[in-house]
Amino acid sequence: MEDEPPPKAEVQAETGPSELAVRLAEALVFASSEPVSARALGQILPEGEEAEAVLAELARRYEGRGVELAAVAGGVQFRTARDLAPNLRKVVQQPRRLPRVAMETLAIIAYHQPVTRPEIEALRGTSLSQETLDLLLEAGLVAPQGRKEAPGRPTLWGTTPRFLAAFSLGSLADLPRREDLLAGPPAAGA
């Protein structure tokens, strides 16, 4: 009785993704301005290739290099290696920082979303200028998430995938816990 050769899918599992599949993934991630999901990659891969396995191989190849494959916002992007980033800050222009009021507003939206403007104002304890909301909208960090079933049907605000990418978060679950952020400094003499 002769041994039959394993089906092609089993051969691939033993040998890993094809070189073509890894090159396609590399090109897609490089060309995309947004994080690339395994699902999006799967649409261009040759039949029988597993997107997760291809991304794992691509990440392995870039480990320890100047650019690494990072998981952000439900997908992957090439990012500067964390240990090299401080060196690059000397020559690479940093994007404009958000004003404090915009960061406060963004934090409230991130932790309480979906949230209305009056709810943001109540949490901040002061009014919210349209300029601040416009700044967050223009930066692509927040977006309308529908309307609240309440008088006046105010807009509900939430964060975007760009927010996740900007803060190197895979998902909102990766945000620091509010309790950790509110912890005060250790008592003197303790």
Angle, CA 158 vertex, CA 156 and CA 163 arms, to 5°: 160
β-bridge mates for residue 158, sequence order? 143
8-state DSSP, 29: H
What does the alpha-carbon distance between residue 22 and residue 159 come to, in Å, rounded to a whole number? Answer: 31
Q: What is the chain's length?
A: 190
pLDDT in tens, 140-180: 999 999 999 989 899 999 999 999 988 888 888 888 887 77
Q: Which domains does the chain have, with CATH numbers?
A: 8-88 (1.10.10.10), 100-173 (1.10.10.10)
What does the alpha-carbon distance between residue 19 and residue 42 come to, in Å, rounded to a whole number? Answer: 15
pTM of model > 0.85:
no
pLDDT score at 1: 46
pLDDT in tens, 58-92: 999 999 999 999 999 889 999 988 898 888 877 77
Q: Are 72 and 174 in contact (CB under 8 A)?
A: no
Average pLDDT of the residues of the chain: 85
pLDDT score at 94: 62
pLDDT score at 183: 57
User: With pLDDT > 90 as the criterion, what percentage of the chain qualifies?
Assistant: 59
The rounded Cα 175 to chain-centroid distance in angstroms is 11
pLDDT in tens, 5-20: 444 444 444 578 999 9
